């Protein structure tokens, strides 16, 4: 708005006009960056990808740990059976 007022004057002050244009450009860049961040976040949420505030990564890590534990139990059971057979 102030850029338009400055331009409407007979002798606009170029430095003032440049400063206001730079401020406007910076404000637009900030809004664009924030919108891009929101779009990235919403894309992650919509596609089920892990994102900030999501428990997906923690649940996946827990499930993988449980799978490894189950595998280790099975292997230890197999080893115990093999040892028993060898001792007989």
Which residue did the predictor score with more confidence, 74 or 4?
74
Q: Does residue 1 carry a pLDDT above 80? A: no
Q: Where are the domains of the chain?
A: 1-49, 54-87
pTM of the model: 0.44
Q: What is the pLDDT of residues 46-64, one digit of tens each?
A: 776 666 666 777 788 899 9
How high is the mean pLDDT of the chain?
83
pLDDT on residue 47: 74
Q: What is the pLDDT of residues 64-77, one digit of tens each?
A: 999 999 999 999 99
For 4, residues 6+ apart whose C-beta sits below 8 A from its C-beta are none
**Is residue 62 classed as helix, strand or coil in its secondary structure?**
helix
Task: Return the DSSP state at 55.
Answer: S
């Amino acid at each position: 708005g102030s850029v338009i007022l400055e331009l409407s004057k007979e002798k606009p002050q170029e430095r003032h006009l440049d400063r206001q244009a730079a401020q406007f450009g910076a404000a637009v860049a900030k809004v664009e960056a924030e919108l891009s961040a929101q779009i990235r976040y919403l894309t992650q949420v919509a596609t089920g990808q892990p994102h900030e505030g999501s428990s997906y990564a923690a649940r996946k890590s827990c499930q993988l740990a449980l799978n490894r534990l189950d595998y280790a139990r099975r292997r230890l059971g197999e080893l115990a059976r093999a040892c028993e057979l060898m001792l007989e």
